[in-house]
């Protein structure tokens, strides 16, 4: 696992610039560095040594040195690709997976990416034709960002490398703030830095003579097979997932895994007999602490279990550090818990496997039950009646049984679902923002995806949206940043093209029947896990933010931030203080909204305060 950065163009003291860019992502690769600089391009690389420890340095070149590669990630089918390339006459000088990319590009050009099984973000410079080629893996496990600075094209694994490029003018992107307040993350390809963009998953970018061409080579399309039965599906899942875990464990260093009480990481951990698993929790009772669950499972599947209880002081004192590594504000508090479990793992291993992607591929989120729950209600009552009832109960100033059902049942999926998090509505954003003219309807960002998914059933539409938005902007972003912040490689065997092939065929009856979510996956997991674990309901990564925000100490910390100059610059302070006060007094659970605003303030003061 590594970090890459570079630029095409000319600037003063190019070697010094590229070294400075690479130094900022040393955490991604503390073992080694490498550079290529000529009159046209500068390429930087930081290495975390995983495969071919002695000879896997980058940049890597082809036989005649006219192609130059820097690469972040792992290619799991590199041995098969290498065999094909060797038979075609290519000469290899390392045993790394990286080298298949340079020879593969020489052999197949941009079609190379269609042959790869793995996680990756890489850059190839064609010295003869003066072409830069960038590519990102199908699901977006590995990050890549780019921008143009005058006549220079600049790219990097993390935005912080781009920020130090000479003449880059750091400007705040108000569009990203509007999206963030709805989704809890900056919706890619936009970032919080004006003019800096995320290369989307499954895309390549070609830069030549000032022209940028972006192409999509992979789209996660569902091909539902309604005839698929549970036994057949679960058997196929079991076979395919075992193969995926096997290839994801390929390494020249020790590999461990994360372990929570849920099925996803537990299923992964069941393949780690005699090896190491890692868990964290909070000292707030079983609801916020999965350690005892994980300990019991670890004994049953015979893994060596390591755990840590995160104290309140540790959590709150790490917020600034975490937001620095994130580059952009992320209002998902589990990213801080992920930082600590990555830190724990890094004390023992260099690579971990985790369960990200299972919910999106196999239908695991509780919210995926809503189409079934609201089906009869929405069939019996027309839209105008449902809207009338929803507007009516929203005006009632207290909670009562059925209130949430009426509100959530007002609209169909396409007119309400924007992903797993929906923080502030359009009207709420207009209340709290100093500049309400930047406010947009968050559903506008979902329309194109819903259009592409119109032939799917409602559950599959939600999955498709989450794979393309939530998973990219939240789940995989925090997984990459928090593991890399601790110089550890995180691999995700669920997000494998072969695993997706079987997941994409599952009918809804095998994903979200009345019994549970991820139905077919749970059936497959029962062959390796205790039934109580395989059937355990989705919990997520619970963090006690709502408890902390009713504690006088942390309430005071947030209140101070809400009265800061940064808060006054962006928000109507009385409105955000009311959100905080109502939560503190127990009137409403505003914890997620309060946290969203607070994290933005913390992040802004890290990255922009010196400009104000």
**Average pLDDT over the chain, rounded to whole?**
94
Q: What is the secondary structure of 411-454 as a DSSP string?
A: S-GGGT--SS---S-HHHHHHHBS-GGG---GGGGTHHHHHHTT
500 pLDDT band (50/70/90 cuts)? very high
Reported as a single tens digit per residue, the pLDDT across 534-566 is: 888 776 678 999 999 999 999 999 999 999 999
Reported as a single tens digit per residue, the pLDDT across 566-608 is: 999 999 999 999 999 999 999 999 999 999 999 999 999 999 9
250 pLDDT band (50/70/90 cuts)? confident
Task: Please choose, from the candidates 187, 215, 426, the residue with its C-alpha nearest in 3D space to the C-alpha of residue 330.
Answer: 187
Which domain CATH number covers 23?
3.60.20.10
* 263 and 347 assigned to the same domain: yes
Q: Give residue 244's pLDDT.
A: 97
Q: How far, in whole angstroms, is CA 5 from its chain's centroid?
A: 20
Which domain CATH number covers 266?
3.40.50.620
Of residues 2, 5, 198, 335, which has the active-site annotation?
Answer: 5
Query: 553, exposed or middle or buried, with CB in 10 Å at 0-12, 13-18, 19+?
Result: exposed
Residue 56 in this model has a pLDDT that exceeds 80: no
438 pLDDT band (50/70/90 cuts)? very high
* 301 and 204 assigned to the same domain: no
Q: Is residue 562 part of a domain?
A: no
Residue 50 in this model has a pLDDT that exceeds 70: no
pTM (two decimals):
0.95
* 126 and 183 assigned to the same domain: yes
* 180 and 91 assigned to the same domain: yes
* 196 and 340 assigned to the same domain: no
Residue 610 in this model has a pLDDT that exceeds 80: no
Asked about 5 being catalytic, the answer comes back as yes
503 pLDDT band (50/70/90 cuts)? very high
Stretch 499-509: mean pLDDT, rounded? Answer: 97
Q: Which long-range contacts (CB under 8 A, 24 or more apart) does 145-149 make?
A: 145/191, 145/196, 145/197, 145/198, 145/199, 146/196, 146/197, 146/199, 146/205, 147/193, 147/195, 147/196, 147/197, 148/195, 148/212, 149/7, 149/9
- Cis before 189? omega within 30: yes
Q: Is residue 406 part of a domain?
A: no
Beta bridge partners of 256: 352
Q: Is residue 197 part of a domain?
A: yes
* 78 and 172 assigned to the same domain: yes
Q: Is residue 184 part of a domain?
A: yes
Domain termination site, one of 506, 532, 558: 532
State how far the Cα of 206 lies from the Cα of 409, in Å rounded to an integer.
Answer: 45
* 106 and 18 assigned to the same domain: yes
Residue 54 in this model has a pLDDT that exceeds 60: no
Stretch 162-172: mean pLDDT, rounded? Answer: 96
Query: How many domains would you assign to the chain?
Result: 2
Q: Which range has the worst mean pLDDT, 87-96, 313-322, 438-447, 487-496?
A: 87-96
- The secondary structure of 199-253, three-state, reads CCCCEEEEEECCEEEEEECCCCCCCCCCCCCHHHHHHHHHHHHHHHHHHHCCCCC
Instruction: For the chain, give the percent of residues with pLDDT over 90.
Output: 85
Question: Is the pLDDT higher at 143 or at 410?
Answer: 143
Query: 430, exposed or middle or buried, with CB in 10 Å at 0-12, 13-18, 19+?
Result: middle
Beta bridge partners of 71: 122
* 241 and 193 assigned to the same domain: no
Beta bridge partners of 146: 155, 197
φ and ψ of 305, to 5 deg:
-105, 130
Domain termination site, one of 169, 186, 216: 216
* 111 and 158 assigned to the same domain: yes
Query: 402, exposed or middle or buried, with CB in 10 Å at 0-12, 13-18, 19+?
Result: exposed
Two structure tokens written together for 56: 């896997």
φ and ψ of 542, to 5 deg:
-65, 130
- The answer to whether 66 and 131 have CB atoms below 8 angstroms apart is no
Q: Give residue 53's pLDDT.
A: 58
Give the angle 248-250-253 at the CA atoms, nearest 5°. 120
* 178 and 249 assigned to the same domain: no
Q: Is residue 159 part of a domain?
A: yes
402 pLDDT band (50/70/90 cuts)? confident
Q: Quick one: the chain helix, strand, coil %, rounded to 5?
A: 45, 15, 35
- Pairing of β 203-208 and β 197-198: unpaired
Q: Is residue 568 part of a domain?
A: no
Helices vs. strands in the chain: H and E counts, helices first: 28, 17
Q: Which domain holds residue 360?
A: 230-277+286-307+336-364+477-532
Residue 428 in this model has a pLDDT that exceeds 70: yes
Reported as a single tens digit per residue, the pLDDT across 203-238 is: 999 999 999 999 999 999 999 999 999 999 999 999
Number of neighbours of residue 563 by Cβ within 10 angstroms: 12
Domain termination site, one of 487, 514, 532: 532
532 pLDDT band (50/70/90 cuts)? confident
Q: Is residue 194 part of a domain?
A: yes
* 244 and 173 assigned to the same domain: no
Q: Give residue 453's pLDDT.
A: 97
Q: What single-letter DSSP state applies at residue 112?
A: G
Q: How far, in whole angstroms, is CA 168 from its chain's centroid?
A: 26
* 70 and 205 assigned to the same domain: yes
Task: Please choose, from the candidates 315, 340, 198, 326, the residue with its C-alpha nearest in 3D space to the C-alpha of residue 604.
Answer: 326
Q: Is residue 31 part of a domain?
A: yes
Give the angle 69-74-78 at the CA atoms, nearest 5°. 80
- The answer to whether 219 and 209 have CB atoms below 8 angstroms apart is no
């Amino acid at each position: 696992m590594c970090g890459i950065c570079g630029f095409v163009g000319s600037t003063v003291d190019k070697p010094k610039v590229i070294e400075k860019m690479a130094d900022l992502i040393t955490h991604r690769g503390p073992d080694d560095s490498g550079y290529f600089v000529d009159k046209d391009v500068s390429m930087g690389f930081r290495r975390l040594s995983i495969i071919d420890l002695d000879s896997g340095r980058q940049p890597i070149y082809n036989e005649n040195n006219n192609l130059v590669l820097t690469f972040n990630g792992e290619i799991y089918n590199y041995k098969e690709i290498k065999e094909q390339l060797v038979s075609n006459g290519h000469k290899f000088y390392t045993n790394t997976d990286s080298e298949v990319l340079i020879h593969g590009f020489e052999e197949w050009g941009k079609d190379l990416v269609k042959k790869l099984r793995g996680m990756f973000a890489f850059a190839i410079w064609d010295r003869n034709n003066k072409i830069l080629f960038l590519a990102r893996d199908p699901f977006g496990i590995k990050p890549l960002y780019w921008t143009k600075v005058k006549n220079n094209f600049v790219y990097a694994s993390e935005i912080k490398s781009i920020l130090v490029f000479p003449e880059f003018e750091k400007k705040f992107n108000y569009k990203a703030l509007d999206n963030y307040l709805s989704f809890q993350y900056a919706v890619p390809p936009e970032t919080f830095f004006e003019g800096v963009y995320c290369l989307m998953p499954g895309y390549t970018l070609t830069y030549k003579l000032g022209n940028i061409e972006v192409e999509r080579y992979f789209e996660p399309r569902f091909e539902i097979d309604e005839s698929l039965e549970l036994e057949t599906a679960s058997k196929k899942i079991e076979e395919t997932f075992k193969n995926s875990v096997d290839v994801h464990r390929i390494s020249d260093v020790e590999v461990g895994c994360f372990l929570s009480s849920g099925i996803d990481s537990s299923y992964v951990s069941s393949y780690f007999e005699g090896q190491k698993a890692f868990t964290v929790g909070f000292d707030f009772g079983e609801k916020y602490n999965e350690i005892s669950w994980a300990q019991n499972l670890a004994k049953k599947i015979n893994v060596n279990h390591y755990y840590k209880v995160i104290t309140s002081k540790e959590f709150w004192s790490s917020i600034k550090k975490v937001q620095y590594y994130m580059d952009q504000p992320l209002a998902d508090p589990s990213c801080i818990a992920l930082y600590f479990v990555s830190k724990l793992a890094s004390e023992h291993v260099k690579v971990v496997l985790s369960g990200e992607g299972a919910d999106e591929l196999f239908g695991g989120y509780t919210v995926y039950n809503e189409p079934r729950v609201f089906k009869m209600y929405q069939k019996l009552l027309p839209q105008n009646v449902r809207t009338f009832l929803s507007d009516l109960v929203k005006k009632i100033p207290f909670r009562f049984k059925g209130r949430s059902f009426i509100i959530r049942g007002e609209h169909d999926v396409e007119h309400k679902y924007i992903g797993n998090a929906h923080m502030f509505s359009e009207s709420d954003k207009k209340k709290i923002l100093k500049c309400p003219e930047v406010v947009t309807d968050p559903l506008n960002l979902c329309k194109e995806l819903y259009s592409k998914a119109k032939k799917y059933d409602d559950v599959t539409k939600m999955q498709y949206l989450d794979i393309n938005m939530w998973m990219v902007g939240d789940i995989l972003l925090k997984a990459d940043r928090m593991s890399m912040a601790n110089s550890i490689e995180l691999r995700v065997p669920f997000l494998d093209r072969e695993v997706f092939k079987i997941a994409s065929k599952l009918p809804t009856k095998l994903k979200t029947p009345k019994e549970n979510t991820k139905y077919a996956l749970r059936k497959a997991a029962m062959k390796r896990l205790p039934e109580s674990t395989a059937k355990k309901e989705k919990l997520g990564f619970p963090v006690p933010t709502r408890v902390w925000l009713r504690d006088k100490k942390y309430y005071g910390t947030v209140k101070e931030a809400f009265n800061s100059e940064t808060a006054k610059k962006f928000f109507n302070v009385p409105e955000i203080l009311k959100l905080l006060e109502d939560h503190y007094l127990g009137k409403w659970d505003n914890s997620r909204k309060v946290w969203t605003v607070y994290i933005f303030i913390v992040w802004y003061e890290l990255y922009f305060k010196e400009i104000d």
